[in-house]
A = this chain, B = another copy of it.
């Protein structure tokens, strides 16, 4: 029998216990032996079916030789960071859904895992239940990955879907997302793009093999999106989505950012709605491949954690391809990467064309909307400073 511990027993932690219980049969078929949760680390004991497994003392887990894998679902950095290090040093595999910890300290924790011949796996940190990291690191290994982009945050996608489908203003849609439990009481990390930003950093780290520091990756959220721009976009065959995106620019040069984008309706990503996530990986041989599913939630995220637990237990060598260099050099500010931009201006298309040359017209009148470029964001901002710009957004080409 294999035995594991769960640290933290919120939504994801509870889900992990449930998935192991419910799907014991298929898990056992895969492992050849049953899998059991032996200990659950909590701060405060809670009654319920798992009460007898709870402990508030990390040391009982750390020193328990029977526990071979620890699932960290504490979240954040502090305690999660400390316990993860100690678990790895005690020779236990660690599996996590904690994107903040991976984005900020992934390097160090992976190195520590290698040193102790165990795995540090974090499939659940990106895309919840969608299996995207192993395809990226293993199955697309015959490709040079040139770009990854996607809808990486379910809360903001839910809000945008409400804004589009029901013409609901941002603040009302946010309130509804909070009422449904999709958004936190403090929604900053979601709506300002930080959550998506951590995820694009992890994807980019793995795809390009060098560290993306979340502190220097520009992240813009959806709180400033106006319903008028959504309407103009929709009327012209475009959808507005919050994307995380990273691009290979040269051998070492690369960029990443999070920002709202206009996406053509013939791109399947534009039809990803509600709390669903989608990640598009562009390889030089395979072209664009998309992974789609529920990016959050108790069971999908837990399913990814348990799948990582199985991976750890199947006695393969620690996976060497999950790795990236600590080197952050070569990061190019996305402002300097040419792309097309959407503008809504107070004024006519003729005025815009004086500055931008020929543009794609979405609306002409006293208030006009257009797509201009390709040009860098710096150039766009400079040109736009001579216009009365009411809204500006990136366009995904």
Residues of B within 8 A of A297 (CB): 287
Q: Which of B29, B286, B302, B303 contacts A293 (CB 8 A)?
A: B286
B-contacting residues, A93-140, CB 8 Å: 123, 129-131, 134-135, 138-140
How many angstroms between the C-alpha atoms of A217 and B319 in the bound complex?
39
Q: Which of B135, B310, B316 contacts A134 (CB 8 A)?
A: B135
A39-47, A83-91, A265-273, A350-358: which one contacts chain B? A265-273
Q: Which of B23, B209, B273, B290 contacts A142 (CB 8 A)?
A: B23
How many angstroms between the C-alpha atoms of A192 and B31 in the bound complex?
40
Contact of A300 with B287 at beta-carbon distance under 8 Å, contacts A141-B310, A307-B139 already known = yes
How many angstroms between the C-alpha atoms of A271 and B139 in the bound complex?
25
Judged by a CB distance under 8 angstroms, whether A30 is at the interface is yes
- A residues near B, CB below 8 A? 15, 19-20, 22-23, 25-27, 29-30, 123, 129-131, 134-135, 138-144, 209, 266, 268, 271-273, 276, 278, 283-294, 297, 299-300, 302-304, 306-307, 309-311, 316-317, 321
Interface centre among A141, A285, A288, by most B CB within 10 Å?
A: A285
CB distance B135 to A135 under 8 Å?
yes
| CB of A386, distance to nearest CB on chain B (Å) | 39
| CB of A383, distance to nearest CB on chain B (Å) | 34
User: From A265, which residue of chain B is reached at the shortest CB distance?
Assistant: B271
CB distance B293 to A129 under 8 Å?
no
Residues of B within 8 A of A293 (CB): 286-290
| CB of A138, distance to nearest CB on chain B (Å) | 7
Q: Can you name 27 A-B residue pairings with CB atoms under 8 Å?
A: A15-B285, A22-B285, A23-B142, A27-B142, A30-B321, A123-B139, A130-B286, A131-B289, A134-B135, A134-B138, A138-B307, A139-B304, A141-B310, A142-B302, A142-B307, A142-B309, A268-B292, A286-B300, A287-B297, A287-B299, A287-B300, A288-B293, A289-B291, A289-B294, A290-B293, A291-B292, A316-B316
CB distance B271 to A140 under 8 Å?
no
Residues of B within 8 A of A292 (CB): 268, 289-292
Residues of B within 8 A of A286 (CB): 129-130, 293-294, 299-300, 303-304
Q: Which of B144, B273, B303 contacts A26 (CB 8 A)?
A: B144
Nearest 5 A-B pairs (CB), nearest first?
A129-B286, A131-B139, A142-B306, A285-B303, A289-B293
Residues of B within 8 A of A287 (CB): 129, 293-294, 297, 299-300
Q: Which of B266, B268, B285 contacts A300 (CB 8 A)?
A: B285
How many angstroms between the C-alpha atoms of A130 and B262 in the bound complex?
26
CB distance A140 to B131 under 8 Å?
yes
